[in-house]
Amino acid sequence: MRSTAYDLSQFAPQREAPAKPSVKVIDNPRRKKSYRAYRLRLTFCSVALFALMALTVYNNMLLTETRAKVVSGTEELTQLVSEYSYLNCELENMVSLKNASDYAENELGLIKVAANQIEYVNLRSATI
């Protein structure tokens, strides 16, 4: 229990709190140089990053154009190969028919049929 009537602590000698040291900010020249170097590095990195992004976009653009040219060239090549195969087949057919015609005329002595030599037979009216 405390009694406030006999509290003599207010009359006792009190110790003074130690004084807080005052803090002074001194401008450090190294800090300014460090800040300038930091800004210079940051600017250089930003420019390098921007240049890298620009080169990447340019590279992708060229790559896309080249792929489009390759695709159109491939399509044209496919079409030309198909046409070559068709014409080659037609040439072989013409040569083989010509050879067959020459063989039939020269070796076998056959001649082409004239239009007046052809007779048509109607099988419905014919009686056996």
Give the pTM: 0.44
Length of the chain: 128
Residue 40 located in a structural domain:
yes
SS (H, E, C) 12-74: CCCCCCCCCCCCCCCCCHHHHHHHHHHHHHHHHHHHHHHHHHHHHHHHHHHHHHHHHHHHHHH
Name the residue range of residue 102's domain: 30-109
pLDDT digits (tens, 9 = 90+) for 52-106: 999 999 999 999 999 999 999 999 999 999 999 999 988 887 777 778 888 888 8
Residue 12 located in a structural domain:
no
Q: For residue 4, name the pLDDT band (cuts at 50, 70, 90).
A: low
Residue 91 located in a structural domain:
yes
Residue 67 located in a structural domain:
yes
What proportion of the chain, given as a percentage, has pLDDT over 70? 91
Domains identified in the chain, total number: 1
